[in-house]
């Protein structure tokens, strides 16, 4: 790397290309960056201090909250609340949306949706986890409390989206609609440096990522597609390689850089799969598209789905353009559900 460019400098240089922008988004990034640094510090101490394990509480979706889920949610919320441009947030770990009460926040134009800690099952075992965020312009009038309608917007209305991945290094990767850019954290001086400018996902990859333990419960099209991935066809680089971490952020990040397909299909007893449209699927779908990839529910573009509830789930196929189209063609050709 010949030049050292920080996240702040990069955002300011991008803003100069859009003089109509007032810099409010920069404040939101400042909040996310701050929360990321605090989380990075705590996650790196996991095992030494009392941050791993269950909090003993269930979230509204019936999932056990881990201590770090709660910690991450609180830090993201506190960081956003302290900056006037965000009027409210919705989070996987909150029962409902949170309307910030102070007048400074209520004058804000934006709302933020977040999965504060993605990959909870990996916290205790030192495997990559992440934080996902998504920013929208509110629909309700300024200087009033935010309402549900502010959060139930289709993903094609996002103004910024991204994630922080806590892996072998910590990275912040985001889009505001002009490409996807990645920054690597130097913890010794607390700075995110531009390391991956304008990431492009290969049109065709060799990796498929799915929880294959659910195989027997998958739709027919997915079963057939998985067999296609495993066929020996050297001229098409098949069989593909199977890689599944169980942290969406980490699986997505790897596939974004290397090319690949991540799937969380519907399965018997879970017609909408597991992943949450607003906190997980929409932000990564926009990033995939901005990098030249694709994201669908098997039939429809994720970003065009009109949400009807905050914690809505949706089947998810995301990654390299040609691979998403291929699995869609299998779903069309073999339309049956799980046997």
Q: Which residues bind Mn ion (CB under 5 A)?
A: 92, 115, 117-118
**Rule CB under 6 A: is residue 201 a binding residue for ligand AHG?**
no
Neighbours of 18 (CB within 10 A): 12
Neighbours of 22 (CB within 10 A): 12
Provide the mask over 202-241, with x wherever binding to ligand AHG is found by CB under 6 A and - wherever it is not.
---------x------------------------------
By a kind-dependent CB cut-off of 5 to 8 A, residue 247 interacts, out of ligand AHG, Mn ion, none, with ligand AHG
By a kind-dependent CB cut-off of 5 to 8 A, residue 274 interacts, out of ligand AHG, Mn ion, none, with ligand AHG
CB of 80 to ligand AHG, least distance (A): 18
How far is CA 180 from its chain centroid? 13
**Rule CB under 6 A: is residue 152 a binding residue for ligand AHG?**
no
Asked if residue 172 lies in contact with residue 32, where contact means CB atoms within 8 angstroms, the answer is yes
CB of 10 to ligand AHG, least distance (A): 27
| Identified binder of ligand AHG from the candidate list 274, 294, 313, 321, rule CB under 6 A | 274
CB of 333 to ligand AHG, least distance (A): 26
C-alpha–C-alpha distance, residues 93 and 63, integer Å: 9
CB of 20 to Mn ion, least distance (A): 34
By a kind-dependent CB cut-off of 5 to 8 A, residue 84 interacts, out of ligand AHG, Mn ion, none, with none
Planar angle of CA 26, 29, 33, nearest 5 degrees: 140
**Rule CB under 6 A: is residue 246 a binding residue for ligand AHG?**
yes
**Rule CB under 6 A: is residue 119 a binding residue for ligand AHG?**
yes
> Residue 42's closest CA among 162, 173, 131, 112?
131
> Residue 208's closest CA among 263, 167, 159, 150?
263
Tokens matching residue 81: 């609340």
**Rule CB under 6 A: is residue 59 a binding residue for ligand AHG?**
no
CA distances from residue 182 to 7, 49, 84, 257 in whole angstroms, order as listed: 9, 30, 26, 11
């Amino acid at each position: 790397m010949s030049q050292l460019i920080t996240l702040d400098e990069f955002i300011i240089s991008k803003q100069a290309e859009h003089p109509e922008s007032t810099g409010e988004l920069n404040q939101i990034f400042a909040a996310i960056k701050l929360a990321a640094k605090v989380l990075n510090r705590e996650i790196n101490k996991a095992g030494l201090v009392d941050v791993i394990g269950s909090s003993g509480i269930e979230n509204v979706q019936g999932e056990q909250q881990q201590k770090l889920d709660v910690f991450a949610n609180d830090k993201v919320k506190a960081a956003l609340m302290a900056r006037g441009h965000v009027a409210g947030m919705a989070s996987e770990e909150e029962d409902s949306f949170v309307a910030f009460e102070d007048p400074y926040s209520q004058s804000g134009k934006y709302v933020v949706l977040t999965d504060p800690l993605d990959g909870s099952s990996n916290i205790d075992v030192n495997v990559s986890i992440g934080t996902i965020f998504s920013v929208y312009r509110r629909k309700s009038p300024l200087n009033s409390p935010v309402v549900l309608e502010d959060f139930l917007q289709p993903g094609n209305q996002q103004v910024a989206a991204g994630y922080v991945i806590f892996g072998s290094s910590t990275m912040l990767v985001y889009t505001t609609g002009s490409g996807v850019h990645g920054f690597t954290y130097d913890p010794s001086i607390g700075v995110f440096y531009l390391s991956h400018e304008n990431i492009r996902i290969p049109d065709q990859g060799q990796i498929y990522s799915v929880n294959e333990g659910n195989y027997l419960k998958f739709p027919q099209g997915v079963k057939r597609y998985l067999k296609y991935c495993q066929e020996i066809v050297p001229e098409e680089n098949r069989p593909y390689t199977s890689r599944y971490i169980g942290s969406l952020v980490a699986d997505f990040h790897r596939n974004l850089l290397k090319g690949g397909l991540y799937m969380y299909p519907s399965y018997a007893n879970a017609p909408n799969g597991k992943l949450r449209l607003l906190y997980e699927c929409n932000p990564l779908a926009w990033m995939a598209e901005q990098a030249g990839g694709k994201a669908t529910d098997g039939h429809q573009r994720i970003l065009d789905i009109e949400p009807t509830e905050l914690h809505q789930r949706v089947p998810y196929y995301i990654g390299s353009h040609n691979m998403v189209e291929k699995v869609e063609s299998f779903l069309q050709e073999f339309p049956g559900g799980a046997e």
